[in-house]
Structure 1
Amino acid sequence: MIMMTIIGMAIVTAVPRFIPAFFMGQTTFKPWVNRWLNAIPFAALGALIFPGVMNVIEDRPLIGIAGGLIAAVIALFNVNVIFAVLGAILTVFLLTM
Structure 2
Amino acid sequence: MNNVLILIFGMALVTYIPRLLPFLIVSKSKLPDGLRQFLTFIPYTALGALIIPGVFNSIPELPLAAIMAILFATIYAWKKGGIIVPVLGSIGVAFAVLYLNNFLGL
Name the TM-score class by shorter chain: 0.7 to 0.9
* Post-superposition offset of 1:86: 1.2
Q: How does 1:1-97 map to 2 (within 5 A)?
A: 1-97=3-99
Q: 1:11 to 1:63 in 2, by over 3 A?
A: same
Name the % identity: 36
Give the counterpart letter for 2:34 in structure 1.
Answer: W
CA RMSD for the aligned pairs? 1.6
Answer with 1 or 2: which has the greater Rg. 2
Distance 1:23 1:77 in 2: 38
User: Moved runs in structure 1, 4+ residues, more than 4 A?
Assistant: none
Letter in 2 for 1:7: F
Of stretches 44-53 and 57-66 in structure 1, the one that deviates more from structure 2 is: 57-66
Displacement after TM superposition at 1:17 (Å): 1.3
Contact 1:71 1:84 in 2 (8 A): yes
Q: Deviations over 1:1-47 (max 9, x none)?
A: 44433332222111111222223222212211111100111110000
Asked if structure 2 preserves the Cα contact closer than 8 Å seen for 1:64 and 1:92, the reply is yes
What is the number of equivalent residue pairs in this alignment?
Answer: 97
Structure-2 separation of matches of 1:78 and 1:15: 41
How many angstroms does 1:78 deviate by? 4.2
CA distance in 2, matches of 1:84, 1:41: 19
Scaled by the length of structure 2, what TM-score is found? Answer: 0.79
- 3-state SS of paired residue (1:58): coil
Q: What TM-score, normalized by structure 1, do the two folds share?
A: 0.86
